[in-house]
Structure 1
Amino acid sequence: MSSEQFLAPILSFLQCETPDAWINEAKKAENLNLLLIDHMICELKAGQSALFLIRKYALDKSSSAELLAWFKPYEDFIYKKQGDLASLGQTPKLSKAVVLKATPSDTFTLFSQDLVDKMILLIKEELHHFYQVLEIMTHRGIEYQNITAGRYAKSLLKHVRTYEPQALIDKLIIGAFIEARSCERFAKLAPHLDDDLNQFYVSLLRSEARHYQDYLTLAQQVAGEGVDINERINEFAQVEADLITSPDQDFKFHSGAPISV
């Protein structure tokens, strides 16, 4: 399948494309360091979001502890500036045994194994992408610096309902939008970058496209067969589109239209 083929449903899913003003800002050489740093942090946050879901809804304590230990070197690098490319390259891999909670009364038991399988694969890929971005930064002599978080994910999460299973459905829909937008931006930005970064961003498209589809599939499974979640998807689509197109003074990978100074 070509890039255009798996991008088509994503462009249909999103209510807007990235504004040209954001692309014009993102392709400036002086913004490359910030863009790569924020991209790397976004990969970690995507993995953390998946981790939160399976720890809350599907895993036993032992498996949760194993996952937390798996994340620790990456989190220590971002939050404590501990470690480097070499040490992260030696990070132990996750074992294949991830055990579900033994809770027959759990509302989510019927689909929890699918949730675990999809989210574990997503986590593995996001942490691998994290490492790849750090590798690019290291080779280019770009030093990691702490940066503030953008408004995008936080603003989406403000709309999550407070009762189950609707809260989980909303979180999964948000996950779909974040992955879809990442895929759309990688595709839009890639042609404006040097050959190495162009090839790297194009290489990410397929996994990001699959992640968005996995999130939507899980959201429908939670809602139940025959339950239409399109209305809720459309509500989040409007919120997401506004965040992407409205003025934003904080330039980040998922920020809105840059404010001209």
Structure 2
Amino acid sequence: MQSTSMADDLAHITEFLIVPTPQAWVHWALENQTIMLIDHAHCEKKAASTALGMMYRYLEYPTFLNRLSKLAREELVHFEQVLKIMQKRGIEYTHLTAAKYASELLKQARKEEPWQLVDKLIIGALIEARSCERFAAIAPYLDEELQTFYRGLLKSEARHFEIYLKQARAVAPEPIDSRIDELRVRENELINSVSEEFRFHSGVPSDASSAA
């Protein structure tokens, strides 16, 4: 049973994303749990790298820098946790091609500052929120160890979502609700698009699209 706090976190995330993960992705994930874990490990490293990149580039926000430092450490801890589960299960950590999800979202970021930073922060919030939503979507179908792991991640990843969204509002020179809606529409399109390969942030398989 989910705690009240976890349920509140998930409700906020679901409201922010609007469109839920397609059930076709959940079925695909269950058929590809090894790839799911490998790609999840890659995602955690990329999330840490994203936070570090912002720390190097944007020095004028000291409070945010502190939060990013903690966020990066947490993402690396999550990477280590996924790696430990993989090693326990005899899963080799290998290279994978990346899903187009994050790169396609980042293509939407504007070039001029501070709007580039605002957009990157909104995109970061979307990625963290979708990760949380997918943890919750897949957890009930997994074995006990993975259920516990993914439900445990939800709280900290929900905090990361809040950090990015709060900072986006803080640095923007005007309200950003309409911009959030624009990027949210693109994110929704990506998770419902057809993907050739399964990844943690992939869309749906082609057979699901043809069956719809």
Q: What's the TM-score bracket when you normalise by the shorter of the two chains?
A: over 0.9
Q: Is 1:113 aligned to residue 114 of structure 2?
A: no
Distance 2:137 2:186 in 1: 21
Distance 1:163 1:9 in 2: 30
Alignment-derived partner of residue 90 in structure 2: 141
Alignment-derived partner of residue 260 in structure 1: 207
Instruction: Choose 1-10 or 214-223, whichever is displaced more.
Output: 1-10
TM-score of the aligned structures, taking structure 1 as reference length: 0.77
State the 4+ residue runs in structure 1 displaced beyond 6 angstroms: none
Q: Is 1:4 aligned to residue 11 of structure 2?
A: no
Q: Is 1:170 aligned to residue 119 of structure 2?
A: yes
Report the alpha carbon displacement of residue 4 of structure 1 after superposing the two structures with TM: 1.4
Distance 2:54 2:115 in 1: 14
Alignment-derived partner of residue 65 in structure 1: none
CA shift digits 1:68-126 (9 cap, x unpaired): xxxxxxxxxxxxxxxxxxxxxxxxxxxxxxxxxxxxxxxxx3xx112111111110110
Letter of the structure 1 residue corresponding to residue 58 of structure 2: Y
Distance 2:138 2:63 in 1: 33
Matches within 5 A, 1:34-49: 34-49=35-50
Q: Is 1:242 aligned to residue 189 of structure 2?
A: yes
For structure 2, list consecutive stretches of 5 or more residues without a partner in the other structure.
none
Alignment-derived partner of residue 122 in structure 1: 71
Q: Verify the 8 A CA contact 1:15 1:238 in the aligned structure 2.
A: no
Alignment-derived partner of residue 190 in structure 1: 139
Q: Verify the 8 A CA contact 1:18 1:244 in the aligned structure 2.
A: yes
Alignment-derived partner of residue 30 in structure 2: 27
Report the alpha carbon displacement of residue 146 of structure 1 after superposing the two structures with TM: 1.2
CA shift digits 1:129-155 (9 cap, x unpaired): 000000000011111111111100000
RMSD (Å), alpha carbons: 1.1
For structure 1, list consecutive stretches of 5 or more residues without a partner in the other structure.
59-108
In percent, how many aligned pairs have the same letter?
49
Instruction: Choose 39-48 or 139-148, whichever is displaced more.
Output: 139-148
Distance 1:149 1:246 in 2: 15
Report the alpha carbon displacement of residue 243 of structure 1 after superposing the two structures with TM: 0.2
Q: Verify the 8 A CA contact 1:51 1:119 in the aligned structure 2.
A: yes
Letter of the structure 2 residue corresponding to residue 130 of structure 1: F
Secondary structure in 1 aligned to 2:189? helix
Decide which structure has greater helix share: 2
Distance 1:5 1:187 in 2: 13
Q: Verify the 8 A CA contact 1:122 1:211 in the aligned structure 2.
A: yes
TM-score of the aligned structures, taking structure 2 as reference length: 0.94
Letter of the structure 1 residue corresponding to residue 141 of structure 2: H
Q: Verify the 8 A CA contact 1:152 1:255 in the aligned structure 2.
A: yes
Letter of the structure 2 residue corresponding to residue 251 of structure 1: F
CA shift digits 1:204-258 (9 cap, x unpaired): 000111110100111111114xx21101100000000000012111210000111
Distance 1:157 1:163 in 2: 14
Larger Rg: 1
Alignment-derived partner of residue 166 in structure 2: 217
Secondary structure in 1 aligned to 2:159? helix
